[in-house]
Amino acid sequence: MRKFFAPASIGNFCVGFDSLGAAIAPVDEQLLGDIVHIEEAEQDTFQCIGEYAHKLPSNQEENLAFQCLTHFRAHVKADMPSVSLTLEKRLPIGSGLGSSACSVVATFAALNAYSGTALSQVQMIELMADFEAKVSGARHYDNITPCYLGGLQLTSEIVPDRAIALPTSPDWHIVVAFPGFALNTAQARAVLPSSLSLGQSVGFAQRLATYTALLQQKRFNNALALMQDTIAEPSRVPLIKGFAEAQLSLPELGAEVVSISGAGPTLFALCTSFESAKRCEGWLNANYVDENGFSHICKFDNQGTRELA
């Protein structure tokens, strides 16, 4: 049996709505993401296991990973040998950590490797984006691409090869905190403004362009100062209980940035030292996370999706 792991990710990454995403990995080396198990079988079979499997539809035809399998066989590799495919669901649904992207990316990576199709980076990302759209309602790359390739990625249809990897500071620590309740992605998108003024559009473009340029110049402190979400965050804060309090309290403990991970309700606090990250994690565990939630101090996961030994 072969196993493929896809890491959790932070969509939007504060300044890059629908275009900037980061793959993350806990510093304690826990696997934060989904795993797909694949092996040859007499006929195609599918099962879903793991801590959050019970949150997914019991009918396999409604499971994204199973849909990936049937699509891959019908449209990519019709003569692929039969497989036993198991999705180990380790990320909560509706968490804002790229849960659906994890399932899709791990499944297609497993199928591509198992069948020997050797699809290109663009082919894989486009295939994955098709299925991510089934959940979010539109093709968004900011979870898919970092989950697949790792690191911090600028990504969209107009980006060459769908991805430009951006450098990040080795001092950056990212505290992610899932409060324990889900937030439907469609609901989180429904509250967004339907249009932006010319001034807002120009401001967003200037901020994102400057941020990415500063990262490429490794002027990380200057880049940090620009990390503000003026597009999605103001509309989504009322949906996330406790976020406003966290955004006020965590900077006093050393957080440089406090923002929403993807569509929420997970938040992330970006710190420039492990010590400040520990202080922020302690506050979040006491004030933001309930018995169904969790927190992790993370770094960027620069490996992306990979086969596990």
Is 97 a known ligand-binding residue? yes
Is 298 a known ligand-binding residue? no
Place of tokens 């980061």: 22
Query: Where does residue 117 fall: left (phi above 0), alpha (psi -120 to 50 degrees), or beta otherwise?
Result: alpha
**Which token pair is 101?**
């992207």
Is 93 a known ligand-binding residue? yes
Is 194 a known ligand-binding residue? no
Is 264 a known ligand-binding residue? no
Number of H helices, E strands in the chain: 10, 13
Amino acid, single-letter form, for residue 109? A
Asked whether 262 and 143 are in contact (CB, 8 A), the reply is yes
Amino acid, single-letter form, for residue 74? A
Is 98 a known ligand-binding residue? yes
Q: Please calculate the CA angle 217-223-224 and round it to the nearest 5 degrees.
A: 145
Question: H/E element holding 270?
Answer: strand 267-271
Is 99 a known ligand-binding residue? yes
How many angstroms separate the first and last alpha carbons of the chain? 10
Binding-site residue numbers are 92-102
Binding-site residue numbers for ATP are 92-102
